[in-house]
Amino acid sequence: MAVNSIGVIGAGQMGNGIAHVMALAGYDVVLNDINEDALKKAMELIQGNMDRQVSREKISAADRDQAMARIVATQDLPQVAQTDLVIEAATEDESIKQKIFDGLLPHLGAETILTSNTSSISITRLASRTDRPEKFMGFHFMNPVPVMQLVELIRGIATDKDTYETCLGVVQKLGKTAASAEDFPAFIVNRILMPMINEAVYTLYEGVGNVNSIDQSMKLGANHPMGPLELADFIGLDTCLAIMNVLHDGLADTKYRPCPLLTKYVEAGWLGRKTQRGFYDYR
Ligand code: CAA
């Protein structure tokens, strides 16, 4: 199936990154959010990130201007439904995602492929509640989207070959690399990454190290570009906790038990960079 236009639902850090790379690759993008301020902020961030790419000579000023002109920001969900491929990139909360799909489905074109950027939730279950499980799959980007090379593609039990190949073609047009993952909790990247982050929080909780020594150890000792606590702040502690809960519930193994300190930070509203406070203080 030919894809010319992409709908992105959710203008947060993943959604604005997805809109950014899709527009640069030549797709017409409809970026949707219920919150007008979030849309405004997303367009400013995309502009700023593209400006940085121009200043580092990764793209030309003309590329940037054409890409920005391809993005339409709207609060109108039915407008998104008119695109060829929709990527839902809302909060990692199944009930929120479900509400979005319920609102979208009555307007969705018969041929439109529906995908979710979920980092952990069952694609088969999300698909089963739509009218098109064969045209539904996981399309999971990494943060920051313009920089990270990988996209995980996750087929639900009913996803058909054409849907998978169409999504694979889009990943290739972005110049990124697809990893095909089976539909089990948190897929590949987060199945491995989140227990490491959770273990770093336990290391802090148990007093084995402090925030700086834990992050420095993994940066200098394991050559990670960011320490695990810095990375948790970057991803969002609420997202990290949500993914650990999916692993814990879905695999029923105590090794995935979220660290109580992670839960406490989320309860405090200390969600990392996006709230200016997490394991680090950004205020
Ligand atoms: N948009 C466009 N370009 C960006 C960008 C953005 N949002 N953020 C960074 N960049 C670019 C910079 O312009 C710079 O480009 P050049 O190489 O051309 O100079 C490059 O990325 C490196 O950026 P910086 O020099 O500012 O900073 P850095 O060297 O410290 O790298 C980083 C920043 C790329 C974020 C790096 O620290 C890193 O790779 N961190 C780990 C990120 C990671 O693990 N992501 C996966 C998270 S897990 C996930 O996303 C899955 C999930 O479901 C939770």
Q: Do residues 176 and 196 share a domain?
A: no
Mean pLDDT value across residues 162-174: 98
Q: Which residues are annotated as a binding site for NAD(+)?
A: 10-15, 33, 92, 97, 119, 143, 274
Confirm if 47 and 68 have CB atoms less than 8 A apart.
Answer: yes
By three-state DSSP, how is residue 121 classified? coil
> CB count, 10 Å around CB of 219?
15
Ligand 1 contacts CB of residue 244 (under 6 A): no
Q: Which of 181, 199, 219 is the last residue of a domain?
A: 181
C-alpha 23 – ligand 1 centre gap (Å):
19
Q: Which residues are annotated as a binding site?
A: 10-15, 33, 92, 97, 119, 143, 274
200: amino acid identity, one letter: A
The per-residue b/e assignment along 125-147, b for 16 or more CB within 10 angstroms, e otherwise, is ebbeebebbebbbbbbbbbebbe
Task: Give me the CATH number covering residue 115.
Answer: 3.40.50.720
Q: Do residues 266 and 140 share a domain?
A: no
Q: Do residues 143 and 209 share a domain?
A: no
Q: State the pLDDT at residue 1.
A: 82
Q: Do residues 252 and 206 share a domain?
A: yes
Task: Give me the CATH number covering residue 251.
Answer: 1.10.1040.10
Given a cut of 90, whether residue 209 has pLDDT beyond it is yes
Of the chain, the end-to-end C-alpha distance in Å amounts to 47
The pTM score is 0.94
In the predicted model, what is the mean pLDDT of the chain? 97
Per the annotation, the verdict on 267 as an active-site residue is no
The model's pLDDT over 230-271, given as tens digits with 9 standing for 90+, comes to: 999 999 999 999 999 999 999 999 999 999 999 999 999 999
> CB count, 10 Å around CB of 189?
17
Q: State the pLDDT at residue 183.
A: 97
Q: Which residue range is the domain that position 234 belongs to?
A: 191-275
pLDDT-derived band of residue 221, with 50, 70 and 90 as boundaries? Answer: very high
Ligand 1 contacts CB of residue 59 (under 6 A): no
